[in-house]
Amino acid sequence: MRDTAVIIMVAGKGKRMKSNLPKVLHNLAGKPILNYVLDTVDQLEVKRKILIIGYKSDKIRELIGDKIEYVEQKEQLGTAHAVLQTEKLLSGFKGDVLILSGDVPFLTVKTLKKLLKYHQANNFCCTLVSTVLKNPKGYGRIIRDKKGEIKGIIEEADLSTDKKKITEINSGIYCFNKEKLFQALEKVTTDNKQGEYYLTDTVKILLREGLTVGNIIVKDYSEILGINNRLDLTDASQKVYQKTLQDLMLQGVTIVDPNSTFIERGVKIGQDTIIYPFTIIEKGTKIGSNCFIGPYSHLIDADIGKGIRVWASIIESSTVKEGANIGPYAHLRPETVVGKGAKIGNFVELKKTVIGEGSKASHLTYLGDATIGKKVNIGAGTITCNYDGEKKHKTVIEDGVFIGSNNSLVAPVKLGKDSYTGAGSTITEDVPAGNLAIARSRQTNISGWRKKKKEDKS
């Protein structure tokens, strides 16, 4: 096969998205629209990959980095003008040019390989991809003669009334002979209602010069439909989510209600785990077998072991080990590790904290920058005071410690093995192993205080 260069057009703003963010950077079921296209292209054997950028190009560069070549279209003068910006970059390249749009996320490798093979086997100057839609509104139409041969492409804005009835649409996906492409681009004019340089006009120019144009028709039209507005984005997201859920269910995962469950591609879930409604699980998350997740849970880049219950809780970039119980209404912030059989209960927040095997923080607790040993009991209302206004400090609680309710542990502080603290204590010094620490003011009852207060007011 001849060498191939891929050009992906992403210079436009995407006005119909009504957004200040470039259209191709909008999130589609867990990753930007553009990344779907790039992931597909990465599976092709091509010599060059070029991204035509324009509107807020810095944001696109920030996302993609240096793994691709860039050309900037500083003025948005049309698709032909956009492709023409690559001429200098491709000056020494010999072969074919595959042109794609960055807003067509479901285009498959299979279709692209078919396009390239058909194009090169027949030595066409251009091969385009089309499909048939019942409602073709918004798309350019493929114009054919009575013999069925392609005569050109007309954009929607330039269609006459009778041509609007044509249901075969142009996908915006092409393979060109590189030399013939740039020769045709030089001849494109703005003689159309939008006053733009249309890439579609190159087909008409090539045919007029007696050169060959081929065509493949994709039967599954959804594969080549672009995302133009927020409605399209939602429809596409639902398609990805539903396919992900179907795959998981076929692998032995129970999804109680697929209509209210959102799991991103790449999430790993073990057999016989049950996912309850209103749960969101984002990429990077791994869940073991025999777990109960949800309802109303949100997991982000979480590592969840076997036999774990997560109920109405948020877990971010944290690890939960086998047999632990999380929630309801717990929040595990990044760099938290919950040990085997541990319990993190109602309204407990953990941040950068390690909880040992069998330990419990059952309710109304904040533990930050802490290392907690095995079989520790954290009383209700306990907090680690880890921040002094400038620096974070560490709290260490060794095995078997019992923390009374409503404790403030002022870091840096260490509580030794099997020590106790009294309820209502503010612990500012280390507690030796086996000791009981009580740090609170002695109670004083003032006789007659209420009566005196009333007299003072009168």
Residue-wise burial string across 260-298, b where 16 or more C-beta atoms lie within 10 A, e elsewhere: ebbbbeebebbeebebbeebbbbebbbbbeebbbbbbbb
Residue type, 175: C
Phi, psi angle pair for 301, to nearest 5°? 50, 45
Q: Quick check: is 363 catalytic?
A: yes
* Distance (Å, whole) CA 339 – CA 59: 40
Do 213 and 149 form a contact (C-beta atoms < 8 A)?
Answer: no
Beta strands 150-154 and 141-144, pairing class? antiparallel
- CB 71 within 8 Å of CB 84: no
Q: What is the DSSP string of 91-120?
A: TT--SEEEEEETT-TT--HHHHHHHHHHHH
Strands 420-421 and 408-410, by their bridges, are unpaired
CA distance 49 to 311: 45
What whole-number distance in Å separates Cα of residue 80 and Cα of residue 128? Answer: 15
What tokens were used for 435?
């000791």
Distance of CA 172 to the CA centre of its chain: 25
Would you call 258 helix, strand, or coil by DSSP?
helix
Residue 250: in which H helix or E strand, if any? helix 230-250
The C-alpha atoms of residue 39 and residue 48 are separated, in whole angstroms, by: 15
C-alpha 444/C-alpha 331 separation (Å) is 38
- Please confirm whether the linkage preceding 277 is cis (ω < 30° from 0): no
Which two tokens mark 23?
A: 């259209």
What the block records as the tokens of 257 is 């209600």
- Pick from 399, 439, 405: nearest CA to 419: 399
Rounded to whole angstroms, the Cα distance separating 66 from 183 reads 30
Which of the residues 81, 331, 363, 393 is marked catalytic? 363
Q: Cα–Cα distance between 132 and 351 in angstroms, integer?
A: 54
Rounded CA-CA distance 336/429 in Å is: 25
Residues labelled catalytic? 363
